[in-house]
């Protein structure tokens, strides 16, 4: 994967200058784990919709896991300044157009995210969606997509259900429903910061249960 990214970056460097934070992320690797819990950075995104071609990122939240669990001092939540209108999606994430006008430039948000993620393994709930938007945004900002290895708590839960010969029912793999199976408290969803914390707690519950956490490749 690292070789593939380097090849793509070399091809495009005459047109784009890859961000130093992106190169630093790839150069750092996953880092050293001192417990079953640390070495992860949990990320969640809110968008105007689910279509990576026409919809836009609105906010990104992330939090690190350390040797003793969720490191609350590492929590970050960034609204992204965008010319896009939130439209009907505001009903879900409760982000208003006026709030986005006070948001951060996408390049600055991605710089902070990739800097904090250096040496950590990214974790998502439904990684395919978040990574599609993040890879597009990183490529626009820095000239090459992110393409990290990652952990997906949704796929972990899907695998556990299938292991017990269960076909996941509609809604069974939502973050809220996955948390219920571990008797975790209910949180208000569709806020990037809260969903990142909620996913981090779900990952901790999976690890405590003895689930094998294996990185996947973009």
DSSP letters along 79-146, please? EB--SS--GGGHHHH---HHHHTTSB-HHHHHHHHHHHHTTSEEEESSHHHHHHHHHHHHHHHHSS--
Of 29-38, 59-68, 78-87, 152-161, give the lowest mean pLDDT range. 78-87
- Residue 111 belongs to some domain of the structure: yes
pLDDT of the residue at 197: 97
Range of the domain at 76: 2-9+17-151
**Contact in structure between 70 and 53 (CB atoms under 8 Å):** no
Residue 185 is predicted with a pLDDT of 95
Question: pLDDT tens-digit profile of 10-27?
Answer: 545 533 445 788 889 998
CB 168 within 8 A of CB 50: no
Note whether residue 158 is domain-resident. Answer: no
Domain count, the chain: 1
Q: How far apart are CA 144 and CA 1, in angstroms?
A: 13
- As a whole number of angstroms, the distance between CA 119 and CA 213 comes to 17
pLDDT attached to residue 29: 83
Q: Give per-residue pLDDT as tens, 149-188.
A: 999 999 999 999 988 777 778 889 999 999 999 999 998 8
pLDDT at 82 exceeding the cut of 80: no
Residue 213 within a domain? no
Residue 175 lies in a domain: no
Please, which pLDDT band fits residue 90 given cuts at 50, 70 and 90?
A: very low
- Classify residue 207: in a domain, yes or no: no
C-alpha to C-alpha distance for 2 and 57, rounded to whole angstroms: 26
Q: Can you give the CATH number for the domain in which 104 is found?
A: 3.30.420.10
Whether 218 is in a domain gets the answer: no
Confidence of residue 35 (pLDDT cuts 50, 70, 90): confident
Q: Strand 57-66 to strand 69-79: parallel, antiparallel, or no bridges (unpaired)?
A: antiparallel
Q: Is residue 92 part of a domain?
A: yes
């Amino acid at each position: 994967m690292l070789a593939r990214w380097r090849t793509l970056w070399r091809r495009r460097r005459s047109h784009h200058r890859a961000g130093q934070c992106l190169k630093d992320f790839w150069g750092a690797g996953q880092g050293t784990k001192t417990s079953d819990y640390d070495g992860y950075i949990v990320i969640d995104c809110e968008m105007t919709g689910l279509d990576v071609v026409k919809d836009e990122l609105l906010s990104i939240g992330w939090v690190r896991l350390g040797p003793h669990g969720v490191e609350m001092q590492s929590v970050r939540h960034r609204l992204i300044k965008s010319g896009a209108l939130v439209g009907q999606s505001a009903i879900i994430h409760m982000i208003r157009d006026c709030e986005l006008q006070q948001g951060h430039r996408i390049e600055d948000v991605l710089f902070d995210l990739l800097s904090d993620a250096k040496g950590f393994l990214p974790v998502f709930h439904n990684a395919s969606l978040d990574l599609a938007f993040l890879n597009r945004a990183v490529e626009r900002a820095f000239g090459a997509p992110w393409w990290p290895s990652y952990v997906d708590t949704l796929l972990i839960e899907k695998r556990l259900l299938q292991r017990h010969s269960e076909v996941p029912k509609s809604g069974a793999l939502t973050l809220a429903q996955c948390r219920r199976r571990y008797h975790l408290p209910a949180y208000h969803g569709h806020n990037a910061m809260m969903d990142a914390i909620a996913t981090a707690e779900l990952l901790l519950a999976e690890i405590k249960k003895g689930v094998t956490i294996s990185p996947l490749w973009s």
